[in-house]
Amino acid sequence: MPACRLRASLIAWIALVALGFWSGPVVSAHAGGQPVVLLVFDRPPYYALENGQPAGGFVLDITLTVFEQAGIPVVVREMPPNRILAHIETHPSGSCAVGWLRTPEREVSARFSLPLYVDQPLGVVTTPEKARELGPSPHLKDLLAADLVWGERQGFSYGPVLDKTLQKIPAQRRSFFSDTRAMLRLVAQHRLDAMLIGPEELSAQLRPDPALRNAIRFLPIADAPPGFSRHIMCDLAVDRDVLARLDAAIQEFRETERYRLLTRFHTGHEETAVDPH
């Protein structure tokens, strides 16, 4: 009889693999607990995946450490951001997602942890020539008055203040793209004048491409809104006790030297070209 039960368990496990429900290794062990499905998409430097599995990204590293310290097992599953949001909203089944922004609309169908990380404020990338015209730290009104041609991420929110600012720009001076690197290259080629980006993401884009770094300039915005707070977002099937344990682990980990090293390395200031003139 035990052998029969063993065979049945093995068959059930193989079925899960075949159906795609078992999408990665359990990162931490928790006796008697069901793994949380951790939904992630590839967006360096925040989250990095290879073959659907964790390959770095400092916010993902923080998240996996937090789950491990909380004693909550996870299974990592890659999913595009739009599908993640739809999945959390419409299929509550014990899933969480990494690094999401907390909004009133999302709180209707999701629970959020304490912040994992607070981004640096967004700045503007432009050409060296436009950077000299704008000055070292332009205000939003300066950017609106500068008659710039902007590149923007398709379906992406820059936060309510900057979204409202961009909407004041005439449609013929706004182009939308799905790829950040493509926008940076177009700025370097003088085919776009400006784009908004965080220092962390810009740093990750520039590390492998020194020539690109020399062809563009990053300018902090004098009156930019504060950076985004990134949270673990879980569907309503995830027990509140799980969120309480994650919050306790976040508070504990944020006091460690490892957390400070992870976040300090990725602020981007050491690799961000700022026009000195």
154-193 per-position pLDDT tens digit = 877 888 899 999 999 999 999 999 889 999 999 999 999 9
pLDDT of residue 33: 67
Per-residue pLDDT for 5 more than 60?
Answer: no
Which one-letter amino acid corresponds to residue 191?
R
Coil, strand or helix at 270: helix
Instruction: State in Å, rounded, how far the first CA of the chain is from the last one.
Output: 80
The Cα 41–Cα 49 span in angstroms is 7
40, β-bridge pairs: 78
Per-residue pLDDT for 19 more than 50?
Answer: no
The Cα 138–Cα 115 span in angstroms is 29
pLDDT of residue 210: 83
Which one-letter amino acid corresponds to residue 143?
L
- Could you tell me the fold of the domain covering 21-118+228-266? D-Maltodextrin-Binding Protein; domain 2 (3.40.190)
Architecture of domain 123-220: 3-Layer(aba) Sandwich (3.40)
Helix and strand numbers (H, E) in the chain are 12, 13
Q: Is 44 within 8 Å of 57 (Cβ atoms)?
A: yes
Return the DSSP state at 149: P
Residues of the chain with CATH 3.40.190.10: 21-118+228-266, 123-220
Mean pLDDT, the chain, integer: 85
Least confident of 13-27, 61-75, 130-144: 13-27
Residue 37 binned pLDDT confidence (cut-offs 50, 70, 90):
very high
Q: How many CB atoms lie within 10 A of CB 146?
A: 15
- Across the range 50-76, mean pLDDT stands at 94
The Cα 136–Cα 35 span in angstroms is 49
The Cα 152–Cα 195 span in angstroms is 6
Greater pLDDT, 5 or 41: 41
Q: Is 149 within 8 Å of 170 (Cβ atoms)?
A: no
Q: How many CB atoms lie within 10 A of CB 77?
A: 20
Per-residue pLDDT for 245 more than 60?
Answer: yes
47: phi > 0 → left, psi -120 to 50 → alpha, else beta; which? beta
- φ, ψ of residue 191 in degrees (nearest 5): -95, -15
pLDDT of residue 191: 97
C-alpha distances out from residue 3 to 12, 41, 109, Å: 14, 40, 43
pLDDT of residue 78: 95
Return the DSSP state at 171: G
Which one-letter amino acid corresponds to residue 240?
R
Strand 74-78 to strand 49-50: parallel, antiparallel, or no bridges (unpaired)?
unpaired
Q: Is 270 within 8 Å of 202 (Cβ atoms)?
A: no
